[in-house]
Chains A and B, each alone.
Chain A
Amino acid sequence: MLKKILFQNKVNFQFIFATLGALVGLTALCLSFQLMLDVRSFHSGEEELFGPNQIVIQKKVTKFSSLGLNSTDFTEEELNSLKQKDFITDVAPFKSVDFKVAISEVPGDGLPDFYADAFFNSIPDRFMDVETNWEWNENSEYIPIVLPRSFVMIMNYGLAQSQGFNQVSEELLMAARLNIHLKGVNKQEIKMGRVVGFSQKITSILVPESFLDYANDTYGEGNKIPPNRVFIEIKDDSYGELEDLMEEMNLDISKDAIDVVKIKTIVGVIIGIFGIAALLITLLSLMGFVQYSQLVLSKAAYETQTLLRIGYSVNSIVKTFVKQLSLIFGIITIAAIAIMLLVKIVGVNKWLDENGIHLEESSIVPTILLAIGCFALFVVANYLNVKKTVRNLGKV
């Protein structure tokens, strides 16, 4: 009965405007949030497109460096200045071996006959993009090795043809053992090695840091080798700063890595703008509802005052009001989630599919939580507003 008294002029322009606004705003907000989640989980090959922004930097080789006039090494000071940059969140120089290394096949393991000079690098585990058992100690049966994927390509599609040996699959390469020739000044040894993975990101032959430290102690001359390649992790949307840094330090960065940062920056900005616009629409519609309830209450001022005069409490009136509004908000929230899913499945996903982009479905739970959060915000804001308005009416 309270509802009948209070909501006599239920549907009006404000109500339709606020309802449509809330529906559009909330749908757009959920959609942009969901797309952000989907895009973050997007993988290109083995490399995460929207994972942490890890980039290998090195200095450009110029004609002066070829003549030995300037060095591509990073000095201690340069490393420190990198660490101090705001947009760089992590810095890790590549470690190198301090002695000569060569690799040859183990006869009978299926690899063609070869012997090649090589080098080893190591990087901290947190920068590895290959999931593998990356443990090594002096009792280990073999040294785990990660090769750049591009190396396998050169071998199979270039060397194999011109040198006349058989192509080697990644599986065979990982199954076969390798002889690792460690040629220090005072000590020479052959150890067993095995390829345990291929890296998309790092164009270097990688071994575990524990092995590299041990090998440098055992075979090296004790020289401290300055790094010439450094792994850095940068913040999202910092393409501009990265470009400045390249200019400043005359850096060479793989084009792929830059493209990824560029795409991330652009997509981030676009979804961000869309999200902000959706948030604004949602907040405006919230204002619309606040106005709507004020209007309804001012139209029902006599009724509200009379209810208070015959003994109805402020809370019972507020409760009737908020219950009715919550029902409307609830329908809007559920409709927004439904429309969002519909647009995503029938619209966006289909379009992406047709264009050959396969997004890994991410959970819709966070988006539903966001929608419920907006619902709660609407209910609380209107509760406070209605309570204040009813109290003001009661004072007269």
Chain B
Amino acid sequence: MTLELNNVLPTPLQEYPHASNSVWKNNFSIDFPKKVLLNASSGKGKSTFVNTIYGLRKDYTGFVKLDNKDISTLSLDEWVELRKNKLSVVFQDLQLFPELTVWENLILKNDLTQHQKEGRIMEMLEILGIPGKKDQVCKTLSLGQQQRVAIIRSLLQPFELLLMDEPFSHLDEENAAIALRLIVEETDKNKGGFILTSLGSHHGFQYEQELTL
């Protein structure tokens, strides 16, 4: 999948100055599979970047293209199809279903895609250290635990590009590194790539490309 940005500038960020190597107001494209880090401090627009590419924000000037198609022309049905098969995401605010259990949240996604076997999902819970939380209602989990559920959910579908908006903000470095290893493993299996936004840490990983805001 090719991601291309032409002179993109979110409306709320128009008043701020942007560095010459910023993704904003620049022309560049990335061919995935590639593992990309977007490193920036707070308030520079990391979530705006992720949400814009994921099609949730439309308040920008310029063009965003996925596989040479201007994403502002995509219909809701086309977005749904894209988000089911090619584009996955870990939201900063996670967007889990708080009333459902961990397992229900995961199965809800896997039922739609039939991407992973139940045994593998269980294994992922074990790798991330929350197998015991399987039947617990999500809203009763800590943020760090919820974050791990959201990460696993994002891996329960085929994708060419996985967008992750500060996915480890509530995890310690050790757990973040474990999670990242799982993400890399699944990304490679999918022959896909990812963009991971971070507040500064590299989580001990060598990225193929780095973007700045």
| Interface residue count on the A side (C-beta < 8 Å) | 17
Q: Is the CB of A303 within 8 A of B97?
A: yes
Q: Is the CB of A311 within 8 A of B84?
A: yes
CA distance A247 to B63 in the complex (A): 83
CA distance A367 to B204 in the complex (A): 74
How far does the Cβ of B29 sit from chain A's closest Cβ, in whole Å? 25
A-side interface mostly? helix
CB closest chain-A residue, reference B87: A311
CB of B18 closer than 8 Å to a CB of A: no
CB of A154 closer than 8 Å to a CB of B: no
B-side interface mostly? helix
- Chain A 161-179 interface residues, beta-carbon cutoff 8 Å to B: none
Q: From B2-10, B20-28, B107-115, B178-186, give the one contacting chain A.
A: B107-115
Q: From A1-9, A21-29, A251-259, A343-351, give the one contacting chain B.
A: A1-9
Q: Is the CB of A1 within 8 A of B100?
A: yes
Q: Is the CB of B83 within 8 A of A395?
A: no
CB closest chain-A residue, reference B82: A311
CA distance A27 to B121 in the complex (A): 51
Q: Is the CB of A312 within 8 A of B97?
A: no
Instruction: Report the contact-size class of chain B (Cβ under 8 Å from the partner).
Output: 20 to 34
Q: Is the CB of A395 within 8 A of B76?
A: yes
CA distance A333 to B58 in the complex (A): 45
Q: Please judge, given known A-B contacts A1-B104, A1-B107, A1-B108, whether A313 and B99 are in contact too, CB under 8 Å.
A: no
B residues in contact (CB < 8 Å) with A: 54, 56, 76-77, 79-81, 83-85, 89, 91, 95, 97, 99-100, 104, 107-109, 111-113, 153, 157
A residues in contact (CB < 8 Å) with B: 1-2, 4-5, 8, 303, 306, 308-314, 391, 394-395
Sample of 22 A–B contacts (CB below 8 Å): A1-B100, A1-B104, A1-B108, A1-B111, A5-B99, A8-B99, A306-B97, A308-B80, A309-B91, A310-B95, A310-B108, A311-B80, A311-B83, A311-B109, A311-B112, A311-B157, A312-B112, A313-B77, A313-B80, A314-B76, A394-B76, A394-B80
